[in-house]
Structure 1
Amino acid sequence: MDNKRIYVDIHALQIVPPSCINRDDTGAPKTCIYGGTMRSRVSSQSWKRSIREEFKELYPDETGIRTKKIVGMVKDEILLQDPAFTEEKAAKAAQTALTNAGLKIKDAEKGTDALMFMSKKQASALAELVVKGEKDKKEYKKALAGNPSIDMALFGRMVASDPSLNYDAACQVSHAISTHETPTEFDYFTAVDDLSEDTSGAGHIGITEFNSSTLYRYATINVMELYRSLGMKAPEAVGAFVKAFIKSMPSGKINSFANGTLPSSVYITVRDDQPVTLVGAFEKAIPASSEGYLERSEDRLIQHANKLTSSFVKEPYKSFVIGDGLEGLAKPVRIEEAVENLEEEIKNLLENGGC
């Protein structure tokens, strides 16, 4: 199994109305130059954060917590497992447990120097060692290295003070970019002072930058890397990621723009050669017209996928399409059916030695 390659690629086309879901340091929507034209861009960090938040809704017990205050996480588990501990004693024991595991802890309140990604199961395992009076530091390190959450195995964990606690990320998420040239626009707005008797002027004046676009989004999962971390929970993790990828949306200025949309079309492949992004379909920007951008973006995506398959890479082992417009790549199905079938395919591949 270690020599097998199984990748799941997810491609999505998503229309986003006027919005500012991901801002730069000046408050403007993020952009990039691609194919010689200005494109709207949403960073991978922004969308991965949204995917992790979606995980909390789908799998509340299978998500990790990224924080400096991990002492409190372990302390709470100690108090839960043995109420005889006082708050002070539990905090001190939690700090010792994490130090034994190889982490540098400033103090019980400040925690680690950098953000630490830890699962609830890891906190519970450390607390269990404390309660039973374990003295072997290797057992504490083993507890912190094992039992990763689904999102930890997918997105990875880096521990600068002890690389043996690292997890390699099993997924990669691209920056989403518009399939067409996208100018930035400006919303001039005013606010009224409700208690002011002077109605001739505004109580506040401001400007918000925004844009609207049809985005191409892409992510890939190294299933074998995920399998090494999660075992046969990997198929479920793949399904969870696909659902969260499709349903998530960065929340920047969402109260001002109410821009919550879902992808219009999604193309999912299982590959045994290498991950393949289809962003090259949009190196030449889709031209503006009264017909919009989606339909021509879908046509371009189909053409580019077929071009790569005919010249450079193998046919996908399995393909799934959700939504209308990409029928040239696979028969469209609902998201529930696509995820269920995808999980079953991954499970069968892992059990039978690969594609």
Structure 2
Amino acid sequence: MPRTIVDIHILHSVPPSNLNRDDSGSPKTAVYGGVRRARVSSQAWKRAVRLAFKQHLDLSELGERTMRVGEAVARLIERDAPDLAEQSATLANGVLVAAGLVKKEPKKKAKAGAENPHAESEYLLFLSRRQQQNLAALAINAAHAGHDPDAKAAKKAANTDHSLDVAMFGRMVADVSDINVDAAVQVAHAISVHAVDNEFDYFTAVDDRKHEEQETGAGMIGTVEFNSSTLYRYATIDVNRLHDTLGDLKATQQAVEAFTTAFATSMPSGKRNTFANGTRPDAIMVQLRDTAAVNLVGAFEEPVGRTGDTTGRVALAAQALAAHTRDVHHAYGDNPVAAWITHVGERTADLAALGTVVPLPELTTALGNQIAARLTPA
């Protein structure tokens, strides 16, 4: 089976916003090329992608990341075995302990009548919905047979039928390392292609009743920090690893198509109600490679544009990315197997020569067809 890597490069202009805050509420930044850039962490964008999957995939194909795993399994036991409803929390705890996913006894809740509290894991646990169902079924069968769940069977139930998002983003279970899943997707921190200074919005809120009484003064005052930027975003998919985890060609193709669409069109929700900053990317370049993943952020090591330049950054970023891509390909001789470009308007037209120009839906379809062809045994 040939080596298959999918690289996704995006130029994305974002107006005043605070997509991803640090512990003080300020937009995250990073120094690159000697200047401070706007930054959006990989975790923030991966969560946005996982939430966007719900628009493109059936829930049965997705996982759930939660500490309240006992509650999730108990609800399935109640649904599928109503006769065991009163014992559901205890049964769920038993099967999770057998699988090694829960170590501690569930804490007693102060709420009256909570004699059978739900087990919680010590960390966020990423299980597919089918794995939750497998664990519930094992608990039900064991209860009906009058014995405790088998530990080996419980561990197997938690380590088969991986969902598409678990296969893509991976899973680390510190206490049961043999059910860890290596991530097939890597997402870089998005950074601005130019220098950025954070700004402050001073705001006031008027008390409506004060206004009616013709009283002056604000009911509340405050500040919110923000910036605006043109971001370079990058993600890569190790298709071979994804296929190894999922074990199914069609599921692998579906996962690649869904991730490409979701990564391109999603956005972290930080301060969304304040700034209404929902924009689409200015350009998307997808490259199919057979060597190794290549992040092209070096195009912006020297920030594009100058302070006070009013010509914008998108066109300059497209020119820089196109030139750097050609330079990298020429220097290392590892041209992509195929490439597709989705771009908006003339500002990003410099990228058009690097691949087949198509709308995003056609891009994902063409990419998926290529993936299927490469994974199909000769």
**Fold match, TM over 0.5?**
yes
Once the two structures are superposed, the pairs formed by residues 208-223 of structure 1 within 5 Å of their partners are 208-223=224-239
**Aligned-partner Cα distance in 2 for 1:105–1:62:** 28
What amino acid is aligned across from residue 166 of structure 2 in structure 1? M
The two structures have a TM-score, normalised by structure 2, of: 0.90
Q: Deviations over 1:10-65 (max 9, x none)?
A: 00000100011111111111111110111111111111110111012221322211
Question: Aligned pair 1:118/2:127, yes or no?
Answer: yes
What amino acid is aligned across from residue 156 of structure 2 in structure 1? K
What amino acid is aligned across from residue 202 of structure 1 in structure 2? A
Q: Secondary structure at the match of 2:352?
A: coil
In the alignment, which of 314, 325, 340 is matched to residue 294 of structure 1?
314
**Aligned-partner Cα distance in 1 for 2:312–2:67:** 46
Question: Aligned pair 1:109/2:118, yes or no?
Answer: yes
**Aligned-partner Cα distance in 1 for 2:215–2:34:** 48
The two structures have a TM-score, normalised by structure 1, of: 0.95
Aligned counterpart, 1:261? 279
What amino acid is aligned across from residue 88 of structure 2 in structure 1? A
Please state how far the C-alpha of 1:331 moved relative to its aligned partner. 2.5
Aligned counterpart, 1:228? 244
What amino acid is aligned across from residue 19 of structure 1 in structure 2? S
Please state how far the C-alpha of 1:276 moved relative to its aligned partner. 0.2
Aligned counterpart, 2:367? 342
Runs of 4+, deviation exceeding 6 Å:
none
CA contact (8 A) 1:273 1:314 kept: yes
**Aligned-partner Cα distance in 2 for 1:47–1:154:** 14
Please state how far the C-alpha of 1:330 moved relative to its aligned partner. 1.2
Aligned counterpart, 1:244? 262
Question: Aligned pair 1:17/2:15, yes or no?
Answer: yes
CA contact (8 A) 2:93 2:118 kept: no
Aligned counterpart, 1:327? 352
Once the two structures are superposed, the pairs formed by residues 51-200 of structure 1 within 5 Å of their partners are 51-59=49-57, 60-87=59-86, 89-106=87-104, 107=106, 108-133=117-142, 135-196=149-210, 197=213, 199-200=215-216
RMSD in angstroms over aligned alpha carbons?
1.4
Q: Deviations over 1:327-349 (max 9, x none)?
A: 02112101111101111110110
* Number of corresponding residues: 350
Q: Deviations over 1:155-200 (max 9, x none)?
A: 1111011101110111100000011111111111111112224633
Q: Secondary structure at the match of 2:194?
A: coil
CA contact (8 A) 2:37 2:194 kept: yes
Distance 1:198 1:26, change over 3 A: farther
Distance 1:181 1:263, change over 3 A: same
Please state how far the C-alpha of 1:216 moved relative to its aligned partner. 0.2
CA contact (8 A) 2:305 2:316 kept: no
Unaligned runs of 5+ in 2: 107-116
What amino acid is aligned across from residue 222 of structure 2 in structure 1? G
